[in-house]
Amino acid sequence: MTIAVSAVKKTKTMLHLKQNMLVLALLTFSFGIALGQPFAEGERSMSKGVHNSFLVDFQIGEADDIADLWVDYQKDFDARKPKKNDAGEYFGDNAEIEAISANTIDIYSTVKSKKPAPGAIVTIWFDLGGAYLSSATHPDRMEGARNWLEGFRNFVMKEYAEEALEAEEDKLKDMEKALKDARDAEEDITEDIKEMEAELAELKKRLGSAEKDAQMKAEAVNKQKQIVEQARARAKSLKN
């Protein structure tokens, strides 16, 4: 039983630790965004060769969860069946991102875990149809591209923020329950004290009556002793 209780306490402690780390990471990550954290751009190798790409670096979460959110985000822009191909890349077919292009865009991407550290790096290639998006060749489209990438980052961060909120709300519920239990215990003890004080008052009342009764009986005993002594003296005189 002791081992089981210890295991439960250890599990709760680890969950609270992870929740606290998530909240801290969200605050740190949000601060990084406020400072204007860029989406690193560069030529990187992929299944279609070496092409310009963009990185979205997440410092929290799990790669699989971020990958699922990435797929969902692409679907919001009508990308058909964004899923992993044989090369280990995610392929979103014919996405409609008006902020980047009036034409449909094929999106290639990878999601790499940063383990043992939390988070993942999402590498994204935008195939515009004959050319891959880059600031060098498409400077007029970069603001829209960065806004779209920012949208994805916010989409992921919103999910984790809601998860952190839910964790903190659960913690608050546990704390409120603990407070209620403490107050209930306080009320029970206060009620017990009142009952004990009432019992004590009754005992004191009974003690007063007992003291008077004992005093009366003591006086009666003393009188009886005198009578006994008188009777003893009379009996003794008659023997003589």
pLDDT digits (tens, 9 = 90+) for 108-121: 999 999 999 999 99
- The total domain count for the chain is 1
Quick one: average pLDDT of 87-113? 94
Residue at 180 is within a domain: no
Q: What percent of the chain has pLDDT over 90?
A: 75
pLDDT digits (tens, 9 = 90+) for 7-65: 333 334 333 445 555 555 554 544 344 334 579 999 999 999 999 999 999 999 999 99
Q: Token digits for 26?
A: 């969200």
Q: Token digits for 76?
A: 């919001």
Q: Token digits for 99?
A: 């902020």
Residues 6+ apart with CB under 8 A from 121: 55, 56, 57, 58, 111, 112, 114
Q: What angle do CA 180, 182, 186 make, to 5 degrees?
A: 115
Residue at 214 is within a domain: no
pLDDT of 74: 95
pLDDT of 240: 60
Distance of CA 152 to the CA centre of its chain: 24
Residue at 35 is within a domain: yes
Q: Which domain holds residue 69?
A: 2-169
Per DSSP, helices labelled H in the chain are 2-34, 63-75, 142-239
CA nearest neighbour of 98 among 47, 45, 168, 148? 148
Residue at 80 is within a domain: yes
> What is the average pLDDT value for the chain, to the nearest integer?
86
What does the alpha-carbon distance between residue 23 and residue 86 come to, in Å, rounded to a whole number? 36
Residue 67: pLDDT above 90?
yes
The answer to whether residues 45 and 89 touch, using CB atoms and an 8 Å cutoff, is no
Q: Is the dihedral of CA 227, 233, 235, 237 positive or negative?
A: negative
pLDDT of 33: 43
Which range, of 13-27, 44-58, 76-90, 137-151, averages the lowest pLDDT?
A: 13-27
Query: In the structure, what pLDDT confidence band is assigned to residue 177 with cuts at 50, 70 and 90?
Result: very high
Residue at 135 is within a domain: yes
Q: Which residue has the tokens 């965004």?
A: 33
Residue at 195 is within a domain: no
Residue at 199 is within a domain: no
Which range, of 25-29, 123-127, 135-139, 183-187, averages the lowest pLDDT?
A: 25-29
- Return the number of other C-beta atoms located less than 10 Å from residue 160's C-beta: 20
pLDDT of 22: 54
The answer to whether residues 159 and 22 touch, using CB atoms and an 8 Å cutoff, is no
Gyration radius from the chain CA atoms? 42
User: Which residue(s) pair with 124 in the sheet?
Assistant: 54, 109
Q: Token digits for 237?
A: 């005189």
Residue at 151 is within a domain: yes
Write the secondary structure of 70-135 as one string of H (helix), E (strand) and C (coil). HHHHHHCCCCEEEEECCCCCEEEEEECCCCCCCCCEEEEEEEEECCCCCCEEEEEEEECCCCECCC
* Stated pTM of the model: 0.67
